[in-house]
A = this chain, B = another copy of it.
Protein backbone atom coordinates (compact mmCIF):
# COMPACT_ATOMS: atom_id res chain seq x y z
CA UNK A 1 0.00 0.00 0.00
CA UNK A 2 1.22 3.45 -0.88
CA UNK A 3 1.11 6.21 1.68
CA UNK A 4 -1.40 8.35 -0.20
CA UNK A 5 -3.71 5.36 -0.51
CA UNK A 6 -3.94 5.36 3.28
CA UNK A 7 -6.16 8.44 3.22
CA UNK A 8 -8.76 6.50 1.25
CA UNK A 9 -9.04 3.68 3.75
CA UNK A 10 -12.32 3.46 5.60
CA UNK A 11 -10.64 3.85 8.95
CA UNK A 12 -10.31 7.00 11.00
CA UNK A 13 -6.95 5.98 12.31
CA UNK A 14 -5.55 5.32 8.84
CA UNK A 15 -6.81 8.66 7.62
CA UNK A 16 -5.42 10.50 10.61
CA UNK A 17 -2.11 8.70 10.25
CA UNK A 18 -1.91 9.75 6.60
CA UNK A 19 -1.69 13.33 7.93
CA UNK A 20 0.25 13.09 11.18
CA UNK A 21 1.85 9.65 11.06
CA UNK A 22 5.37 10.77 10.43
CA UNK A 23 8.13 11.29 12.91
CA UNK A 24 8.95 14.78 11.69
CA UNK A 25 5.34 15.89 11.54
CA UNK A 26 4.76 14.88 15.13
CA UNK A 27 7.84 16.76 16.29
CA UNK A 28 6.82 19.82 14.28
CA UNK A 29 3.42 19.72 15.96
CA UNK A 30 4.98 19.46 19.40
CA UNK A 31 6.93 22.61 18.64
CA UNK A 32 3.77 24.32 17.37
CA UNK A 33 2.22 23.80 20.80
CA UNK A 34 5.37 25.29 22.31
CA UNK A 35 4.62 28.39 20.25
CA UNK A 36 7.28 27.91 17.64
CA UNK A 37 6.02 29.44 14.42
CA UNK A 38 8.80 30.23 11.99
CA UNK A 39 10.65 28.16 9.45
CA UNK A 40 14.11 28.95 10.80
CA UNK A 41 13.04 28.22 14.37
CA UNK A 42 11.62 24.81 13.49
CA UNK A 43 14.73 24.06 11.52
CA UNK A 44 17.15 24.99 14.27
CA UNK A 45 15.20 23.33 17.08
CA UNK A 46 14.47 20.07 15.30
CA UNK A 47 17.68 19.64 13.33
CA UNK A 48 15.45 18.65 10.42
CA UNK A 49 16.67 19.20 6.89
CA UNK A 50 15.18 22.19 5.13
CA UNK A 51 13.55 20.34 2.23
CA UNK A 52 11.77 17.94 4.58
CA UNK A 53 10.63 20.76 6.81
CA UNK A 54 9.25 22.63 3.80
CA UNK A 55 7.40 19.56 2.57
CA UNK A 56 5.91 18.74 5.97
CA UNK A 57 4.78 22.30 6.60
CA UNK A 58 3.21 22.39 3.15
CA UNK A 59 1.34 19.19 3.84
CA UNK A 60 0.07 20.45 7.19
CA UNK A 61 -1.11 23.66 5.52
CA UNK A 62 -2.79 21.69 2.72
CA UNK A 63 -4.59 19.66 5.38
CA UNK A 64 -5.70 22.79 7.27
CA UNK A 65 -3.77 21.81 10.38
CA UNK A 66 -1.62 24.94 10.07
CA UNK A 67 -2.21 28.29 8.36
CA UNK A 68 0.37 30.64 6.96
CA UNK A 69 -0.14 34.09 8.47
CA UNK A 70 1.93 37.06 7.28
CA UNK A 71 3.77 38.67 10.19
CA UNK A 72 5.50 41.37 8.10
CA UNK A 73 5.53 42.83 4.62
CA UNK A 74 8.68 43.87 2.81
CA UNK A 75 9.94 41.27 2.64
CA UNK A 76 6.68 39.39 2.92
CA UNK A 77 7.15 36.67 5.51
CA UNK A 78 4.76 34.13 6.94
CA UNK A 79 4.55 32.22 10.18
CA UNK A 80 2.76 28.94 10.74
CA UNK A 81 -0.07 28.82 13.25
CA UNK A 82 -2.29 26.02 14.42
CA UNK A 83 -5.88 26.09 13.19
CA UNK A 84 -8.69 24.69 15.31
CA UNK A 85 -8.11 21.38 13.56
CA UNK A 86 -4.49 21.64 14.61
CA UNK A 87 -5.27 22.72 18.17
CA UNK A 88 -7.46 19.64 18.47
CA UNK A 89 -4.34 17.52 18.06
CA UNK A 90 -3.43 18.55 21.60
CA UNK A 91 -4.65 15.31 23.21
CA UNK A 92 -2.55 13.28 20.79
CA UNK A 93 0.58 15.30 21.48
CA UNK A 94 -0.01 15.27 25.24
CA UNK A 95 -0.67 11.52 25.23
CA UNK A 96 2.59 10.87 23.40
CA UNK A 97 4.60 13.18 25.67
CA UNK A 98 3.10 11.56 28.74
CA UNK A 99 3.87 8.05 27.54
CA UNK A 100 7.41 9.19 26.81
CA UNK A 101 7.65 10.68 30.29
CA UNK A 102 6.56 7.42 31.89
CA UNK A 103 8.51 4.93 29.79
CA UNK A 104 11.34 6.72 28.06
CA UNK A 105 12.59 9.25 30.62
CA UNK A 106 16.06 8.81 32.10
CA UNK A 107 16.71 8.51 35.84
CA UNK A 108 16.82 12.24 36.37
CA UNK A 109 13.13 12.62 35.64
CA UNK A 110 11.23 14.60 33.09
CA UNK A 111 12.70 17.25 30.87
CA UNK A 112 9.52 19.30 30.94
CA UNK A 113 6.61 19.76 33.32
CA UNK A 114 3.12 20.90 32.35
CA UNK A 115 1.11 23.29 34.46
CA UNK A 116 -2.65 23.65 34.24
CA UNK A 117 -3.55 27.33 34.53
CA UNK A 118 -7.07 26.57 35.79
CA UNK A 119 -5.97 24.74 38.93
CA UNK A 120 -2.37 25.92 39.07
CA UNK A 121 -0.87 22.48 39.49
CA UNK A 122 1.54 20.38 37.47
CA UNK A 123 -0.55 17.71 35.80
CA UNK A 124 -0.55 14.52 33.82
CA UNK A 125 -3.11 14.06 31.07
CA UNK A 126 -5.76 11.44 31.81
CA UNK A 127 -8.14 10.07 29.20
CA UNK A 128 -11.68 9.60 30.41
CA UNK A 129 -15.02 8.49 29.02
CA UNK A 130 -17.09 11.40 27.68
CA UNK A 131 -20.26 9.78 29.10
CA UNK A 132 -19.37 8.75 32.63
CA UNK A 133 -16.06 10.49 33.24
CA UNK A 134 -14.23 7.34 34.35
CA UNK A 135 -10.66 6.77 33.14
CA UNK A 136 -10.51 4.61 30.03
CA UNK A 137 -8.86 1.21 30.22
CA UNK A 138 -8.52 -0.85 27.04
CA UNK A 139 -10.01 -3.98 28.60
CA UNK A 140 -13.17 -2.10 29.56
CA UNK A 141 -14.05 -1.01 26.07
CA UNK A 142 -15.12 -2.70 22.90
CA UNK A 143 -15.94 -1.56 19.39
CA UNK A 144 -18.81 -2.13 17.02
CA UNK A 145 -19.49 -1.02 13.44
CA UNK A 146 -20.63 2.56 13.03
CA UNK A 147 -22.77 4.19 10.32
CA UNK A 148 -19.91 4.29 7.80
CA UNK A 149 -18.79 0.73 8.36
CA UNK A 150 -18.34 -0.94 5.00
CA UNK A 151 -15.13 -2.81 4.57
CA UNK A 152 -14.45 -5.74 6.78
CA UNK A 153 -10.82 -4.84 6.98
CA UNK A 154 -10.18 -2.60 9.93
CA UNK A 155 -13.09 -3.99 11.79
CA UNK A 156 -12.13 -6.01 14.82
CA UNK A 157 -12.30 -9.62 13.81
CA UNK A 158 -15.41 -9.02 11.79
CA UNK A 159 -17.11 -12.00 10.23
CA UNK A 160 -14.76 -12.19 7.30
CA UNK A 161 -11.54 -11.09 8.91
CA UNK A 162 -8.76 -13.66 8.85
CA UNK A 163 -8.93 -14.03 12.62
CA UNK A 164 -12.65 -14.69 12.50
CA UNK A 165 -12.33 -17.15 9.65
CA UNK A 166 -9.78 -19.02 11.70
CA UNK A 167 -11.98 -18.99 14.76
CA UNK A 168 -14.98 -20.20 12.74
CA UNK A 169 -12.82 -22.95 11.30
CA UNK A 170 -11.61 -23.93 14.75
CA UNK A 171 -15.17 -24.07 16.07
CA UNK A 172 -16.36 -26.10 13.11
CA UNK A 173 -13.54 -28.55 13.70
CA UNK A 174 -14.50 -29.16 17.31
Contacts and interface: CB of A to CB of B under 8 A. Distances in A.
B110 A99 contact: no
Contact of A23 (B3, B104, B161): B3
B35 A23 contact: no
Interface footprint category on A:
35 or more
Summarize A's interface: helix, strand, loop or mixed.
mixed
Contacts of A150: 111
Contact of A127 (B125, B134, B153): B125
Contacts of A109: 146-148
Interface of A: 1, 3, 6-7, 10-23, 26-27, 30, 33-38, 40-41, 44-48, 82, 85, 87-106, 108-119, 121-134, 136-138, 140-150, 153-157, 161-163
